[in-house]
Structures are given as C-alpha cells and as structure tokens.
C-alpha cells in the first residue's frame, strides 16, 4: 500500500504552463461504464460498471476488500452470528445498516468497516493468525449483488505468504443453494491495484487498468457524507495526489501550495457540479480548479497538471468535458519540501522492513511494541527519493508501531513482525 504524506507550511509554487487541451471522457448512457484515464494517454480503458460485486487487493499484504457500491451492491454484517451460523442464517426482519467503501482511501473497503477499534489483529472480515500468518475470516455477510440478488458470503482466508498470495471465499443463495467456494490467486494481477469478482458468473473480472497506466477513474460510488449515490472522479492514490482551489479564474490560475496536495481519493469527487431542477441540467462551478501531482512508474519524479471542468452531460451519455494543462517543474518560493511520500514494506516482515521516503533533511525513526516500550530508534539523513532498510530480526513476533518524524511532521504506521 502506498500513502502520500505532505509537509510544508504555506510553501507556494508558481508554474509556467505548456499548451492547454480540451478532453472528453465518456462513460456511456446511464453511466454504464467506468473509465480509467491518464493525463498523458487519455482514456486508457472502459469497463462495465455493473460487471463485478467485490474487489480484492493484489498486493500480497493487502486486506482492503471493496464492494461495488456504484452498482448498488450493498454489504451487511450478519447480526445473528459469526461464521458458525453459515447453515442457519436467517434474514427475517432484516433492518441492518449497509457497509460502504471509504471515499477517502482505497485502503478502507466496505469489508473492513466492522473491525474492532484498538484490536491490531482484527481486520473487519477476519483476524490475523499468529500460527500460520494467514488472515482467517470470522465474519458472516449478506450481500446484495449488482444483479439484484441476495447471497450469503464468507471471506474464508487470505494467505500472504511467499508463493501464495491467495484469497479463499465462499458464497451461496440465502437458502443455501448454489454454494460455491473459490480460490483467487492474486499474483497474476499484481500489475493492478485490485482484481474484481462477479458472484453471479463466478468469474474474475479484470475491470481495472494496469495501475501504472491510469491516474483517475470516472465512475459512480456511494458518498455517505451526503448520503447519496453520485457520479464523479476518484484518484489512483498509489501514484497521484490532488488539491482543489476555489474562488479563482479557471483559465488563468496556475498557483498552488505544495503542502495542500492530498492522497484522499475523492478530492475531485462529484461536488464540482450541481443539478438544477429548473433547467433540468447540470450547472458546473466556474471558479474551481484542480491540480494533480503524478508520480512516475519508478517513483523518482513527478509531473504537475491543472484541470477544470467545463461541461457534463449527465446520464444521457455520461460525458465529462474538462481542460487540462501540463505544468512545468515548480520553482519554490518558500521552504524546502520535507516529506511527500512514505511507504513501508513488506508487511508482515521477518528480518527487515524498508521505509521508502521522498524527503530531505533529518528524519527520526522509532519503533514501539504493544506495551508502549520503545524497541528501536534510528536517525536517517534523507536526500530525496530513497529506501532505508531497518533490521527487525531481533524483535519478538507481534504488532509494532513505527513513528517517522521530521520537523513539524509525524507519521504513525503499524507493521507485523512474523
């Protein structure tokens, strides 16, 4: 998993611009498709938005299973028991609250929403096993599929160990008929963030483009802050961070603050447009622009883009029209960037854990066990994109917190020593 962290106090960049272009991204009548888009390559691919029900992370240590809320898929934790109630599940009087994907991060899928707060070994749908280093499913779900049928579902097991990277899950009709257990091998799809699955066809669905090829996805999703199903734009936060600036002249404004870039996937989102009941048409904000910072495939450099929307047709053809512009490399008029990217891998780890930083200056690293005792500390002098391997072979098996600090910056991350 990759998370982008930004640090700067009011550090403003002024950009010199290249040519501006007008772009159309079409998702089809009734928003039938989701469209994966690259600032450099245009629309990379489109796929049937309703073709899948749930989506599994391909990363060996990924746990964030998504539900296809944009296709009206609804996920419920069964309140009548855990997996021991598989044979006796009863939905009589079902008035449960559905679980939805986070609109802030791909790392917080619907299946994680019932995790026990403060329990480092609980992941919502299952628990980490110290015995075999699997995550063993302990939650029983009811799911309304994209095709409109209810099924019971059990995520049985995730094996992250070397040579495996498998998901095992079981599902059936509510009355127990058409029971099916499947094993999904994620390694063949490691070039994608997620690989999806249809409970109706019992087939893998390759809806997502290769992660290195797309920056934004134009899609439909459930926004629980409204709450409502919306059409909008989400970011590939593995390589893209965004910021929004309002109250400016769209055509001319090209100044942004480096510290305001965020890895929140819904920075662009859906609220740059509103539906006017009088004209029965969408009205677009005319004073809002977005800036995108796109990391290259090697993780060694970034490009900057400006975009703003000029038209949206709605459900008639699902066409988004916007202006985009590649901006020249920034020239700082403020402080030096401290930390703009941090990643830990592998997780779980046995001998070493590696910190990936985009940082300049002195960085302090501390590790704590679950009892709050500091078990390791280290100073790092960072000079840009770099990797730093930390030895953890001497630590006992268990969960640890790693704290990375720089001036006016602190990040807390957990990892598992196996």
pLDDT tens-digit map of 278-327: 998 999 999 999 999 998 877 778 899 999 999 999 999 999 999 999 99
DSSP string, 155-186: EEEEE-STTT-EEEEEEEETTS-S-EEEEEE-
pLDDT in tens, 80-127: 889 999 999 999 988 899 999 999 999 899 999 988 887 878 899 999
Residue 380 banded pLDDT, cuts 50, 70, 90: confident
What's the predicted TM-score (pTM) here? 0.81
Closest CA relative to residue 304, chosen from 364, 255, 270, 359: 255
- Would you say residue 10 has pLDDT above 50? no
Give me the pLDDT at residue 408, please.
Answer: 59
Give me the pLDDT at residue 121, please.
Answer: 84
- Would strands 352-369 and 374-391 be described as parallel, antiparallel, or unpaired? antiparallel
Could you tell me the fold of the domain covering 339-417?
Answer: Immunoglobulin-like (2.60.40)
Q: Under a CB-based contact definition with an 8 Å cutoff, are residues 201 and 190 in contact? A: no
pLDDT in tens, 208-230: 999 999 999 999 999 999 999 99
Domain ranges in the chain are 12-48+210-332, 54-205, 339-417
According to DSSP, the residues that pair with 304 across neighbouring strands are 293, 327
- Note the Cα 41 to chain centre separation in Å: 22
| Preceding peptide of 346 cis, ω within 30° | yes
- Would you say residue 416 has pLDDT above 90? no
Q: Under a CB-based contact definition with an 8 Å cutoff, are residues 216 and 240 in contact? A: yes
- Note the Cα 256 to chain centre separation in Å: 24
Give me the pLDDT at residue 7, please.
Answer: 32
Residue 14 banded pLDDT, cuts 50, 70, 90: very low
């Amino acid at each position: 998993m990759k998370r982008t962290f930004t640090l700067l106090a009011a550090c403003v960049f002024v950009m010199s611009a290249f040519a501006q272009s007008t772009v159309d991204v079409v998702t089809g009548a009734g928003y039938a498709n989701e469209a994966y888009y690259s600032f450099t390559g245009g629309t990379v691919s489109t796929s049937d938005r309703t073709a899948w029900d749930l989506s599994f992370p391909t990363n060996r240590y990924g746990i964030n299973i998504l539900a296809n809320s944009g296709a009206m898929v609804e996920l419920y934790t069964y309140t009548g028991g855990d997996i021991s109630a598989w044979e006796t599940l009863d939905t009589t009087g079902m008035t449960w609250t559905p679980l939805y994907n986070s609109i802030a991060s791909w790392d917080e899928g619907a299946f994680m929403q019932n995790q026990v707060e403060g329990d480092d070994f609980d992941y919502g749908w299952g628990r980490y096993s110290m015995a075999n280093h699997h995550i063993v499913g302990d939650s029983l779900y009811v799911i309304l599929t994209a095709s409109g049928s209810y099924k019971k579902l059990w995520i049985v097991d995730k094996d992250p160990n070397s040579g495996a990277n498998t998901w095992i899950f079981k599902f059936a009709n509510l009355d127990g008929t058409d029971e099916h257990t499947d094993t999904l091998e994620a390694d063949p799809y490691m070039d994608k963030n997620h690989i999806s699955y249809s409970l109706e066809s019992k087939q893998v669905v390759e809806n997502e483009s290769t992660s290195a090829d797309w920056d934004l996805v134009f899609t439909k999703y459930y926004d629980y802050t409204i709450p409502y199903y919306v059409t909008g734009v989400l970011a590939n936060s593995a390589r893209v961070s965004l910021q929004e600036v309002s109250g400016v002249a769209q055509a001319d404004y090209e100044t942004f603050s480096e510290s305001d870039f965020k890895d929140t996937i819904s920075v662009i989102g859906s609220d740059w447009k509103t539906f006017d009941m009088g004209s029965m048409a969408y009205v677009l904000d005319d004073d809002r622009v977005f800036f995108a910072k796109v990391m290259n495939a090697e993780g060694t450099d970034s490009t900057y883009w400006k975009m703003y929307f000029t038209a949206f047709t709605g459900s008639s053809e699902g066409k988004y029209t916007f202006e985009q512009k590649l901006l020249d490399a920034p020239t700082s008029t403020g402080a030096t960037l401290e930390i703009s990217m941090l990643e830990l891998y592998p997780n779980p780890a046995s001998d070493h854990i590696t910190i990936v930083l985009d940082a300049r200056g002195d960085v302090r690293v501390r590790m704590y066990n679950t009892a709050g005792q500091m078990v390791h500390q280290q100073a790092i002098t960072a000079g840009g994109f770099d990797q730093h391997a930390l030895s953890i072979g001497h630590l006992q098996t268990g969960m640890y917190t790693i704290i990375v600090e720089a001036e006016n910056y602190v990040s807390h991350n957990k990892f598992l020593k196996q």
